Structure 1
Amino acid sequence: MTTDNEEEKSSRPKKTDAYESRCFGLVGGVALLADLKTLVNAGYVRKSDGPFYCRACLSEAIVRKCSDKEDHFAHKALVTPTGQNKDTAFHHGVRDELFGILKERFPLGNWKTEVKIVDESLGTFIPDIAGYFGERNKAFPAVAVEVQLSPYSPSYIRKKTTFYAKKNIHVLWVVPLTRPLEKAVFRPRRYELYLHSMYLGYVFYYEPDKNGLLTPVHYGPAMRYIEPKTFFDENAEEQHVGNFYLKYKTLKEPKTGDEVFLADAVAKISGAWENPNNKRLNLPERKIMVTPQKRWWEKDENKQWLKENDWVAYARKYLPQYEPDDDYMGEEAEDEQ
């Protein structure tokens, strides 16, 4: 007999995977085989029966056989090498490196680390680095540099950005890397996706010892090619499918822009925007520091994919849970700014 406590324990890994991957396609313990048609249960397959794929987001899945938990599938995807949440030494190392560069470039900018900024009505926030891109006067923007290592929620990032904007401070969010970002398809974390929206289509990454050169990365759509297939259906009628692309929901293709020197970032004011799919992902009116480079990706990246209509019929018949769109990737936000 299974107790309530045991049931909760066995469902915990599935709930954790669904949260981290932003997809509930594997929660029922069911995945697709490589043909993207055959459904299998985690309790009746072996690892050698794979590869397996999520029926909602199409990313690769792994089967986990557990002695004390129910067999289940989990999403498998490469994530950015951002270091551990509690790696204080790494965080402080990147912070101090950027601080030294800004202090040298703008010696009259009154640069400080971990300085409290207080507002009676808005509260208190402590930016990693704060100062002026120039002298300490109204002719130059006040800037807060945030070395984003902790996986903050979108609501906290929104609250902090709103605070800075009301204090007339431009914020520069930087995600530090422990090694170079690979060019392979990967799954951005929740806070990375929100920063991507905040900056109208890219995230600033930084590798230590790069002398202040930030790398802006756009998350382009990642596609999976469906091979042409011919088969007979249940009515013995010949069917032809394939030869088109299906878009992954949560996996993205990194598209790197030109490196920009930290001190060459420019001030920009962007208006608020409401996400039509998820209000928790709304963007506040914000003051940010951005790259001077123009857009390096196509404005309508899904245009070619949407031209092909065969995928619609295929998805309706074989992938009823397929979800090609991610709530975090609001393309309308860029057009409205």
Structure 2
Amino acid sequence: MTQISLWLVAPERSVSLRNNMLCAIQNDTNQKVRARLVERKDGPFGCPICGKEVLVRKGQIRVHHFAHRSVVTCKYGKGESEAHRKAKESIYEALANREDVAELELEKSWGEVVSDVYAEIQGRGVAFEVQISNLTMREILYRTKAYASKGIAVLWLPLFNSKLNQPRYSPSSWEKWLHATYFGRVYYWLDGLTVIPVRYADYEIEVESSSWYNEYGEEQYAGGYSRRSRRWRKPIVYPAVQIPSDFVLRRRASWEGGKLLIPACRILLDKKTAKKRKRR
């Protein structure tokens, strides 16, 4: 099992309840701008979705971002954590240095959905979605279907966490969905274009043996076997792979099993997994 040292920490308390974003519209030029590249004097700025005024926020620790001036019902950037914004910007900056990437855009709006990062890689559209915990399964399915309708592949990227280095791990419902969607892999983002593929193997729980005597003086036995845990999985952490060098685009047929429903979609799949599936 590969052990990964984790430098990015995303505690639950870091989640912001305000509507923060990395990009906004500069009112004077009507151009989309990044918070890190402008100053307050360059405003006013407007939200790309609702059009209401946003303010640029800059500091020494937090990622430069925009925030709505007042409480609004706009969902753009709602509930994003600092770790989420760092991941988006890191992915964007790393993709910007590649010659095989075109049409790169941070927080790309498609009307019904907004991609964290969008890029055309060798002529194929790919949406990168950083997922932490604030999206519901309904929203994940909705976004995946929306991208599929536009012929865009999607790569969902949760953040790698130290619990994956432990002997057992309790994946969330959306992590189980990702595991099924990507044919037995979840791609956890680590840094830049580096992701860690993880497979969830069965976790066996040992049931201790016991014995007793019934009312007729007959010895009874129980236990002494192992059973598959419903909650826990054994995380198999594979060596790091790079986006997009170690990935290929694949069509994913719709599938339904148990409580999982996967719509027909386009995905990025690491080359080793894709090669294994081709042999079958």
Same structural fold, with TM-score higher than 0.5 when normalized by the shorter chain:
yes
Q: Which residue of 1 aligns with 2:217?
A: 236
Partners of 2:206 and 2:134 in 1: CA distance: 32
Contact kept, 8 Å, 1:272 with 1:284, in 2: the verdict is yes
Structure 1 residue 257 displacement after superposition: 2.3
Partners of 2:207 and 2:138 in 1: CA distance: 38
Structure 1 residue 164 displacement after superposition: 0.4
Q: Which residue of 2 aligns with 1:225?
A: 206
Select 2:267's aligned residue among 277, 288, 295. 288
Kindly provide the amino acid, as one letter, of the partner of residue 252 in structure 2: S
Q: Which residue of 2 aligns with 1:269?
A: 251
Partners of 2:181 and 2:136 in 1: CA distance: 13
In the alignment, is residue 215 of structure 1 matched against residue 196 of structure 2? Answer: yes
Structure 1 residue 258 displacement after superposition: 2.8
Contact kept, 8 Å, 1:269 with 1:287, in 2: the verdict is yes
In the alignment, is residue 166 of structure 1 matched against residue 149 of structure 2? Answer: yes
Kindly provide the amino acid, as one letter, of the partner of residue 127 in structure 2: A
Kindly provide the amino acid, as one letter, of the partner of residue 104 in structure 1: N
Question: How large is the Cα RMSD of the aligned pairs?
Answer: 2.5
Contact kept, 8 Å, 2:255 with 2:263, in 1: the verdict is yes
In the alignment, is residue 88 of structure 1 matched against residue 81 of structure 2? Answer: yes
Q: Which residue of 1 aligns with 2:240?
A: 259
Partners of 1:294 and 1:252 in 2: CA distance: 20
Select 1:129's aligned residue among 113, 117, 120. 117
Under a length normalisation based on structure 2, what TM-score does the superposition of the two structures give?
A: 0.66
Q: Which residue of 1 aligns with 2:36?
A: none
Structure 1 residue 180 displacement after superposition: 6.7
Change (3 A) 1:186 1:179: closer
Secondary structure (helix, strand or coil) at the match of 2:135 reads coil
Partners of 2:142 and 2:106 in 1: CA distance: 20
Contact kept, 8 Å, 2:88 with 2:117, in 1: the verdict is yes
Contact kept, 8 Å, 2:160 with 2:196, in 1: the verdict is no
Structure 1: stretches of 5+ with no match in the other structure:
1-80, 119-123, 135-139, 298-333
Select 1:112's aligned residue among 91, 105, 119. 105
In the alignment, is residue 155 of structure 1 matched against residue 138 of structure 2? Answer: yes
Bigger drift between 93-102 and 227-236 goes to: 227-236
**Greater share of residues in strand:** 2
Structure 1 residue 247 displacement after superposition: 1.4
Partners of 1:269 and 1:107 in 2: CA distance: 21
Structure 2: stretches of 5+ with no match in the other structure:
1-8, 17-79
Structure 1 residue 202 displacement after superposition: 1.7
Under a length normalisation based on structure 1, what TM-score does the superposition of the two structures give?
A: 0.56
Change (3 A) 1:132 1:285: same
What are the superposed Cα offsets for residues 157-202 of structure 1, whole Å, 9 maximum, x if unpaired?
1111111011010001000135473232121112211111221212
Contact kept, 8 Å, 1:199 with 1:290, in 2: the verdict is yes
Change (3 A) 1:108 1:226: closer
Kindly provide the amino acid, as one letter, of the partner of residue 246 in structure 1: R
**Greater share of residues in helix:** 1
Structure 1 residue 106 displacement after superposition: 3.6
Kindly provide the amino acid, as one letter, of the partner of residue 113 in structure 1: L
Q: Which residue of 2 aligns with 1:175?
A: 158
Structure 1 residue 110 displacement after superposition: 1.5
